[in-house]
Structure 1
Amino acid sequence: MTRKRALPSLTTLPGGFRSRFPGAFLAPFGAPSPPPSLVVLGLILVGFGAGAISPGVQPLAAQQGPLTDEWQIRFASETLPAEFQEGASVFLREGEEGLELRPLRSGDGAFICLLTLEPEEERAHSACYHESLEPFMARGRELRREGMGDRVQEIRNREIEEGRLGMPSVPASMYQRTASSGGWNPATGEVTSAPSLFVIYVPFATAESTGLSTRPTRGSPWLMDPGTPRAHIMFQPDMTPGGG
């Protein structure tokens, strides 16, 4: 029988990450950017998605018409490449601003998927990130629950620079897809269109260290938040200029 990985803590930073990923976390501020070769590798393995999830998510019953737990798990996990889907842990975002996570499946793989369903808006969104990013993500949820939404980036950046918050020192991926009005029918569960956004976190990377533009570019990778702990490469096929 396959041993299932314990679900990450939803209210505190999960323990054991430093021991599970020796050398994979940033030293205090001033740590070198990931080598360009790692960035190139990340681009070759493109399929990395992340993105903001809209606030105001309302609780959804475990079984709501065709939107069963099985459907939710499938929609969320299929955001990932096929080889990562089966082992992903999946959570449904509920409560005020979607900050409460209801477990749908505990997996033994390396990815955590968060699903947002807004049937009234005909919107379904899934973001799956590598487990090495969980301290960073969990801290963001914690700060938002404390009413610090407008200071999340400031506080997390400071804590990373001070060595108090773990962040991978090698590229780490997130995968995202969104089905919106016209692409998803909540009444039937049918999904006909769910565009993807691919992102690779490369903390402290710059345009100079990566050779990437810092301006959104249609159909090309670009670097967002350069020189900061949350620097990341963005790529969205057929991206509308200024979007993403």
Structure 2
Amino acid sequence: MNRFILGLLSAVSVVTLPAFLEAQNVAPASEQIAGAVLALPKEMRDGAGVMGYRVTGKLELLRAAKNGMLCLADDPAEEKFHVSCYADTMEPFMARGRSLRAGGVKGAQVDTARFAEVKAGKIKMPTAPAALYQIFADSFDASTGSVKNGRYLFVVYIPFATPATTGLSTVPSDTKPWLMLPGTPKAHIMFSSTM
């Protein structure tokens, strides 16, 4: 009888121990939310929805959106800190990108697939401009709510926009907004700065 119980406990431990250890590498939901919304202006943080991790590798909703903004928490599997927040009207496009990458599609092929699906009517793009805020940094300190060596990126998606429809140059600039990927579903105005 004791051998049976010991064997059963060993089997249960083998099954649950890896999941337990994996969960230990994931920051508490409150820290993930605090880090994710840091990309947004202060007045937008409380109402933003946040997707994060309860287990490494599985992105899920931690907090529902109340203001039309959705944030992605830092991926615990990545070495550097990166968070992004975007208008929830972009979620079908963004979710499809995550799905393609998870399925092994890499690099430019992700956009090739998404652009074809937009053209086929499978992915609905927003009809109004949609903002994206991001932070790229070496690390995030949850106790102070600050990042180390952070770079802030702000983008406004205007699907299918061109220089003719926006009056913007397509030449990259560190000092002026510019239009990236003109004429595509992913056309957007680029803004960037350090923190």
TM-score category, normalised to shorter length: 0.7 to 0.9
Structure 2 vs 1, CA of residues 60 and 102 (structure 1 numbering), >3 Å: closer, same or farther? Answer: farther
Cα distance per residue 1:12-54 (max 9 Å; x no partner): xxxxxxxxxxxxxxxxxxxxxxxxxxxxxxxxxxxxxxxxxxx
Structure-2 residue corresponding to 1:87 = 47
Q: CA deviation at 1:101?
A: 0.3
Q: What amino acid sits opposite 2:173 in the alignment?
A: T
Question: Structure 2 matches for 1:106-117, cutoff 5 A?
Answer: 106-117=64-75
**Offset at 1:188?**
8.0
Aligned partner of 1:170 among 112, 123, 128: 128
Q: 1:212 to 1:120 in 2, by over 3 A?
A: closer
Q: Which stretch of structure 1 is more off in the superposition, 129-138 or 67-76?
A: 67-76
Aligned residues between the structures: 173
Distance in 2, matches of 1:191 and 1:154, equals: 34
**Which residue of the partner structure matches residue 113 of structure 2?**
155
Q: 1:165 to 1:119 in 2, by over 3 A?
A: closer
Counterparts in 2 of 1:104 and 1:227: CA distance versus 1, 3 Å:
same
Q: What residue identity is the alignment partner of 2:92?
A: P
Give the secondary-structure state (helix, strand or coil) at the position aligned to 2:62: strand
**CA offset at residue 224 of structure 1?**
0.6
| Counterpart position of 1:228 | 184
Aligned to 1:69: 29
Q: Which runs of 5+ in 1 are unaligned?
A: 1-58, 239-244
Q: In the alignment, what sits opposite 2:165? A: 209
| Contact 1:144-1:152 within 8 A present in 2 as well | yes
The normalised TM-score by structure 1 is: 0.61
Question: What do residues 190-232 of structure 1 show as CA deviations (whole Å, max 9, x unaligned)?
Answer: 5354221000001111112212111210121111101111111
TM-score for the superposition, normalised by structure 2: 0.75
In 1, the alpha carbon distance for the partners of 2:119 and 2:41 equals 32
Higher RCO (CA-CA < 8 Å; seq separation 6+)? 1
> Does the 8 Å CA contact 2:90/2:125 hold for their aligned counterparts?
yes
Could you say if the C-alpha distance between residues 164 and 69 of structure 1 is closer, same or farther in structure 2, counting changes exceeding 3 Å? closer
**How far apart are the structure 2 equivalents of 1:120 and 1:214?**
31
Whole-angstrom CA distance in 1 between matches of 2:125 and 2:72:
19
Q: Is the 8 A contact 1:175 1:196 kept in 2?
A: yes
Overall identity of the aligned pairs, in %: 43
Bigger Rg over Cα? 2
2:48–2:69 CA contact under 8 A, matched in 1: yes
Gaps of 5+ in 2: 1-20
**CA RMSD, 1 decimal:** 2.9
Deviations 1:96-125 (A, max 9, x none): xx5x3033323322111112245883x211
Which protein has the bigger helix share?
Answer: 2
Determine which of 60, 63, 66 is the counterpart of 1:102: 60
- Cα separation, partners in 2 of 1:133 and 1:86, compared to 1, 3 Å: same
Q: Aligned to 1:135, which of 87, 92, 95?
A: 92
Cα distance in 2, alignment partners of residues 190 and 118 from structure 1: 17
Contact 1:179 1:191 in 2 (8 A): yes
Kindly provide the CA deviation profile for residues 137-162 of structure 1, in whole angstroms up to 9, marking residues without a partner as x: 11111222222234211111112122
